A and B are shown apart, each in its own frame.
Chain A
Amino acid sequence: MALLEVQDLVIDIPTDSGVLHAVSGLSFSLERGETLAIVGESGSGKSLTSLALMNLLPRRAQRRATRIAFDGIDLQSISAGGMRKLRGNRMAMIFQEPMTSLNPSYTIGNQLMEALTCHRKVSQTEARDRAIYLLEKVGITAADRRLSQYPHQLSGGLRQRVMIAMALMCGPDLIIADEPTTALDVTIQAQILHLLADLQKEFGMAVILVTHDLGVVARVADKVGVMYAGRLVESGTARSVFKHPRHPYTRGLLDCIPVPGRTVPGMPLGAIRGQVPNLIGKLEGCAFRNRCDFAMDACAQTIPLACPEPDHVVRCVRVPMLEASA
């Protein structure tokens, strides 16, 4: 049984001008030890998806799904108390902004140890030892002295490491990391990703990585889901998605980034014209069609899923046609 199963996740946010369909019909599953990367630009609904899994959506947002199950536990019918027992314990989250997600009025040590003492019967000394052990693991030197420091005394990179250490305190089965390295410097990003990969091997955690950085995704993910305007437009193994991107949006994204050795310096980069559509109101057909170079009449209808390779699903009407002609 998969560790996490999501079927037909829908997130709607009622606004003054109508219902905003932030996420529609999202399905995926995740095994233990696997890394799933959810890629998309701002507004694609990737962060809301991760919040929905943790039951942390803003109150206004409405979540519906055929099934959301974590290790067989139905997350839709779980009580608030039951969810509190899971959250931070078996499911942990690393948030995007370490500046705002640490409490400024408690010390690092306090916040780290609380994560463990909340869920386990451990002594203060044990919790402290675990905190020091993990801080050292995430590459913070003089960890025992750091415990008495406040978040404002740490740099952004250090705060992010503290957030990662905090997520690991209870040894979770699933970590949801929302842009965990975006605020970090490249050398530190490499170190943190390396560390996450090592820890994942060591503890057999499943990781959901939410990011817009395709370089990070290609290097760490087993599975990739590309989101656009609240829908998965392409998903599959990282290998097949990056080697043979099928959806015009995925291809566009890959062409946008300068890659040393592939793009010619100084030459124009590929760019996706236009802007993300407004998600308020009823969305029909392919949401990307107003920016797509290959749009046709059929794109305004409901788009069937195409499966050009095993473990590779694309939501585009052209894919079956191209496969047939090839």
Chain B
Amino acid sequence: MSDTVLELRNVTRTFAISQGMFRQRATLTAVAGVSLKVARGEVYALVGESGSGKSTLAKMLLGLLPASSGEILIDGTPIAATDRIAVARRIQPIFQDPYSSLNPRKSISQLIALPLVVHGIGTGAERQKKVEEMLDVVGLPRRLLDASPSQLSGGQRQRVAIARALIMRPEVVICDEPTSALDVSVQAQILNLLLELKKEFGLTYFFISHNLAVVEHLADRVGVMYLGRFVEERTRAGLFSGPKHPYTQALLESVLTPDPDMGVPDTHLGTMFPNPLTQMQGCAFQPRCPIATDICRTTAPPMAHFADGWAACHHAPGLATLSAA
């Protein structure tokens, strides 16, 4: 584990939410006590539904949002103590929506060259050369250099976003749902490109997605988040062949493969959602969990360790429970 690029140590982020004038502010815990390590060259996928804290976590990794407590380390140095520009050299983002993440008034070459300008690298001509190289790398024709984003299709825009992220040769790329705004045929092109680039530049991906089929295709390790907490972290093979947490199981059951012989799966999940503003006792997933028992309502679940990861559940198979006796 010497080659850890990215490490989170018990990272928590809370937000103070106004509940109206004269009322006390409530605390929303978006990310609660998350610890993880991402090894160099790995694709670490983060799965969870909206509101589970995925994007808050991504923002903290990019240094756009400070953690309320805990530490985020890149190559062993805490992000909080590092200059934001220095962080940006090592970690770059690719965002979900290529329609809103590109400035509509800049040309493609300006957009891609911007990181170089910000970091003061090279002369104008050198930057131009680098931009042209990047266009080749992401498979865009050079005639688009002076085009504006509005002239590009969604897939082309996402390629521009990828070129912009990679021009600084970062170590880690945070991909926040990079294909969910795209058509399926374009999604395949972009996923193929991401895989190629990873090999070519030796990149590490922190890949945020809710599409499990995509995650299975790409990831080496997978972390599953639910309401700000990690509920399971496993290798891809382990997670997809034998999910241990009931939430992960439900997620996997919900993947709809194009098979007309199968109907819509019934996940047996409840539809109760805990209010994230109230302090939770016990397991966060318990209101929706089909196998919840009394202990889940009162006690936070322990971590059950397996050969390839862990799951936080009182009833994880392989964990000796009192109720089983």
Contact = CB atoms under 8 A, between A and B. Distances in A.
Interface of A: 41-42, 139-141, 155-157, 185-191, 193-194, 197, 212-221, 238-239, 241-243, 252-263, 265-266, 268-272, 275
Contact of B253 (A190, A218, A242): A190
Contact of A271 (B49, B189, B214, B217): B189
Nearest to B48: A185
Nearest to B211: A186
B256 interface: yes
Contact of B256 (A218, A255, A261, A275): A218
B256 A190 contact: yes
B217 A266 contact: yes
Given A185-B210, A268-B195, A271-B185, A215 B217 contact: no
B218 A266 contact: yes
Contacts of B264: 190, 193-194, 197, 219-220
B254 interface: yes
Contact of A256 (B184, B211, B269): B184
B271 interface: yes
Contact of B51 (A155, A186, A238, A254): A155
Interface in B263-303: 263-267, 269, 271-273
Given A186-B210, A186-B212, A256 B267 contact: no
Interface of B: 49-51, 153-154, 183-189, 191-192, 195, 210-214, 216-218, 236, 240, 250-251, 253-267, 269, 271-273
B262 A258 contact: no
Given A186-B212, A191-B269, A242-B260, 15 more contacts: A140-B271, A187-B269, A190-B264, A190-B267, A191-B267, A218-B258, A220-B264, A256-B184, A256-B187, A258-B213, A258-B217, A260-B255, A260-B257, A266-B218, A275-B153
Nearest to A249: B185
A213 B153 contact: no
A221 B50 CA distance: 27
Contacts of B253: 190
Given A258-B217, A260-B255, A141 B273 contact: yes
B287 to A, nearest CB: 9
A253 B271 CA distance: 33
A236 to B, nearest CB: 11
B273 to A, nearest CB: 7
Q: In this complex, which of B183, B240, B251, B255 has the most chain A Cβ atoms within 10 angstroms of its Cβ?
A: B183
B258 A242 contact: yes
A187 B191 contact: no
Contacts of B195: 266, 268
Contacts of A266: 195, 217-218
Contacts of B188: 255-257, 269-272
Contact of B258 (A141, A193, A217, A265): A217
B266 A194 contact: yes
A175 to B, nearest CB: 16
B72 to A, nearest CB: 26
A289 to B, nearest CB: 16
A258 B266 contact: no
A259 B260 contact: no
B254 A187 contact: yes
Nearest to B272: A141
Contact of B271 (A141, A270, A271): A141
A190 B254 CA distance: 6
B204 to A, nearest CB: 15
B212 A259 contact: no
The 8 A-B residue pairs with the shortest CB-CB distance, nearest first, are: A215-B256, A185-B49, A139-B271, A258-B217, A256-B188, A41-B183, A218-B258, A190-B254
Contact of A218 (B49, B192, B260): B260
Given A190-B256, A268-B195, A269-B191, A212 B184 contact: yes
Contacts of B185: 41, 252-253, 256, 271-272
Q: In this complex, which of B51, B260, B266 has the most chain A Cβ atoms within 10 angstroms of its Cβ?
A: B260
A195 to B, nearest CB: 9
A239 B210 CA distance: 27
A269 B217 contact: yes
Contact of A190 (B189, B192, B218, B265): B265
Nearest to B51: A155
Contacts of B212: 186, 260
A201 to B, nearest CB: 12
B254 A254 contact: no
B162 to A, nearest CB: 15
Contact of A268 (B192, B210, B257, B258): B192
Nearest to A189: B254
B255 A186 contact: yes
A194 B250 CA distance: 14
Contacts of A155: 50-51
A30 B188 CA distance: 32
Contacts of A191: 267, 269, 271
